């Protein structure tokens, strides 16, 4: 195992995952330094969510290696899971629990004592402006509220690394601003955030490093400053790199 003090937050080598003869992730190698806000971009079906699922141990890799925070997946997956926070693409919450009950449950799953888990759950609900909804069943939450609760749950054990798959999807402008400020504060305190998002303006404002994946392969990886060198926007770089900059064909009737 690499020294935890100097190892990257994420170190992936030759990662591969095949579904029905098609490589969803095809020889992916990627290094994410600690303490950065890392954007992982790609078109639909490029392999972003598959990569995150392998990083969290939800699905096994067919080949290649994964190290998170100096620990190897899957051999040391329990050590990894203690240190990461996850916001999945689909908020997998318990609809029959209240927001407070759910956060307290997550805290207990991370071995927090019950009083500490309850206190942190209450504080997180207030932080995410859901204090008035603490006794409401999650089944009655809007999509944006569910995303806020999912992010709150990812914070309760103070992880070192966050894996976030479209965390702002369905969140209104006020909620998204709040969530961005909380994440930036985590990075300032030394955490690492690995983020996928289709909203490139958000990535451009938040991230200091970016990788673009297309058809399961990394096609470009740079610091944000290098990615935007010259007059191009991140959107223009992204569209060019994934080969989507051709003019669309007009329909005669449209």
pLDDT digits (tens, 9 = 90+) for 144-155: 999 999 999 999
pLDDT at 248 (0 to 100): 64
User: Taking residues 190-211, what's their average pLDDT?
Assistant: 92
Higher-confidence residue: 231 or 2?
Answer: 231
Structural domains of the chain, ranges and CATH numbers in brackets: 10-241 (3.40.50.300)
- Which residue's entry shows tokens 């029959």? 96
Say which range, 99-103, 125-129, 200-204, 230-234, has the weakest mean pLDDT.
230-234
Say which range, 25-39, 64-78, 227-241, has the weakest mean pLDDT.
227-241
Helix (H, G, I), strand (E, B) or coil at 16: strand
Question: Which CA distances in Å does 41 have to 45, 111, 201, 205, 210?
Answer: 11, 34, 12, 14, 7
Question: Which CA distances in Å does 231 have to 150, 157, 198?
Answer: 37, 41, 21
pLDDT over 80 (residue 72): yes
Read off the tokens for 109: 């799953």
Yes or no: say if 194 and 38 are a contact pair by the CB < 8 Å rule.
Answer: yes
Confidence of residue 8 (pLDDT cuts 50, 70, 90): very high
Helix (H, G, I), strand (E, B) or coil at 151: helix
Read off the tokens for 79: 């050590």
Mean pLDDT of the chain: 91
pLDDT at 121 (0 to 100): 97
Distance CA 134, CA 104 (A): 11
Yes or no: say if 228 and 208 are a contact pair by the CB < 8 Å rule.
Answer: no
Beta strands 161-165; 37-41: pairing state: unpaired
Confidence of residue 1 (pLDDT cuts 50, 70, 90): very low
| Cα angle 120-125-130, degrees, rounded to a multiple of 5 | 170
Distance CA 117, CA 107 (A): 5
pLDDT over 50 (residue 209): yes
Confidence of residue 88 (pLDDT cuts 50, 70, 90): confident
Yes or no: say if 127 and 207 are a contact pair by the CB < 8 Å rule.
Answer: no
pLDDT over 60 (residue 5): no
Q: How far apart are the first and last CA of the chain?
A: 59
């Amino acid at each position: 195992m690499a020294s935890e003090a100097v190892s990257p937050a994420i170190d992936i080598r030759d990662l591969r995952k095949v579904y029905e003869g098609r490589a969803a992730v095809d020889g992916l190698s990627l290094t994410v330094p600690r303490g950065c806000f890392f954007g992982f971009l790609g078109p639909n079906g490029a392999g972003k969510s598959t990569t995150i699922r392998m990083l969290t141990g939800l699905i096994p890799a067919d080949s290649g290696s994964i190290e998170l925070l100096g620990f190897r997946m899957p051999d040391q997956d329990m050590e990894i899971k203690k240190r990461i926070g996850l916001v999945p693409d689909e908020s997998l919450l318990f609809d029959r629990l209240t927001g407070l009950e759910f956060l307290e449950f997550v805290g207990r799953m991370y071995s927090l004592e019950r009083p500490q888990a309850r206190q942190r759950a209450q504080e997180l609900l207030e932080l995410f402006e859901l204090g008035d909804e603490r006794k409401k069943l999650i089944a009655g939450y809007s999509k944006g509220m569910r995303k806020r609760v999912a992010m709150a749950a990812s914070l309760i054990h103070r992880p070192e690394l966050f894996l976030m798959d479209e965390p702002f999807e369905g969140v209104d402008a006020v909620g998204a601003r709040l969530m961005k400020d909380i994440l930036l504060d985590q990075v300032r305190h030394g955490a690492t955030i690995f983020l996928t998002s289709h909203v490139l303006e958000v990535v451009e404002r938040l991230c200091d490093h970016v990788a673009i994946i297309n058809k399961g392969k990394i096609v470009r990886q740079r610091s944000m400053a290098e990615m935007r060198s010259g007059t191009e926007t991140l959107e223009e770089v992204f569209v060019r790199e994934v080969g989507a900059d051709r003019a669309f064909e007009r329909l005669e009737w449209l």
